[in-house]
Amino acid sequence: GDSVTQTEGQVTVSESKSLIINCTYSTTSIAYPNLFWYVRYPGEGLQLLLKVITAGQKGSSRGFEATYNKETTSFHLQKASVQESDSAVYYCALGEGNMGYKLTFGTGTSLLVDP
């Protein structure tokens, strides 16, 4: 089967500091998985933050970056300098290109940025 692992359930970072949220994946059914980061701000639905469909490529959005590493099966989310408005829950996910609706999610990492 497919799985996504986010090891940190909750992360607290001071404003202007750097951030890494870890994500590793495993798949036995998808030859070329697409990888995603979704973000859920308080009171809102999940929204796509970034996605990468090709191994070795990097995606970026709103100052966040993630590189699709097929060798280490990882897709860690990074930001050089977080802001208080980045406080949210971040979900890593993988999916297939053509059946894109059936995403496999991680459990989510709740980020709290201290002002």
Provide the minimum distance between the beta carbon of 9 and other proteins in the complex, in angstroms, as a whole number. Answer: 8
Window of 24-32, 36-44, 58-66, 73-81 that interacts with other proteins by CB under 8 A? 36-44
**Minimum CB distance to other proteins, residue 31 (Å):** 15
Answer whether 32's CB lies under 8 Å from 15's CB: no
- Chain residues 41-80 in contact with other proteins, contact rule CB under 8 A: 43-48, 51
Nearest to 108 by CA among 33, 40, 35, 48: 40
Count the site residues for other proteins by CB under 8 A. Answer: 27
Q: Report the alpha-carbon distance of residue 101 to residue 40 in Å, rounded.
A: 18
* Residue 38 binding other proteins, by CB under 8 A: yes
| CA distances in angstroms from 98 to 1, 9, 11, 67, listed in the order given | 17, 30, 34, 22
User: Which residues lie near other proteins (CB under 8 A)?
Assistant: 4, 34, 36, 38, 40, 43-48, 51, 91, 95-108
